[in-house]
Amino acid sequence: MNGILVYAKTKNERQFIGVFRDLDDLQSEVEETLAVTNRSDLASSVYFILNGEEYKLFLEVEQ
């Protein structure tokens, strides 16, 4: 499966947000997903895995 796994770290857990295809649109797609699902509270703790490495994703979602 090709894709970028995105999740939020919350209280020693990881909450799955989604799998996305394009790194160029990742930020806007994740922001939209969080807004649609009313989970903007997760915006400050979003990470993604790309090529086996974990990265923090900085979002501009209004809380």
Q: What percent of the chain stands above pLDDT 70?
A: 94
C-alpha torsion angle, residues 7, 10, 12, 13 (rounded to 10): -40
Residue 44 lies in a domain: yes
Say how many domains are in the chain. Answer: 1
Report pLDDT digits (tens) over 51-61.
Answer: 899 999 999 86
Residue 24, classed as helix, strand or coil, is: coil
At 30, which amino acid appears?
V
Q: Is residue 51 part of a domain?
A: yes
Q: What is the pLDDT of residues 14-27, one digit of tens each?
A: 999 999 999 999 99
Task: Give the pLDDT of residue 60.
Answer: 82
Domain carrying residue 37: 4-56
Q: Is position 14 within any domain?
A: yes
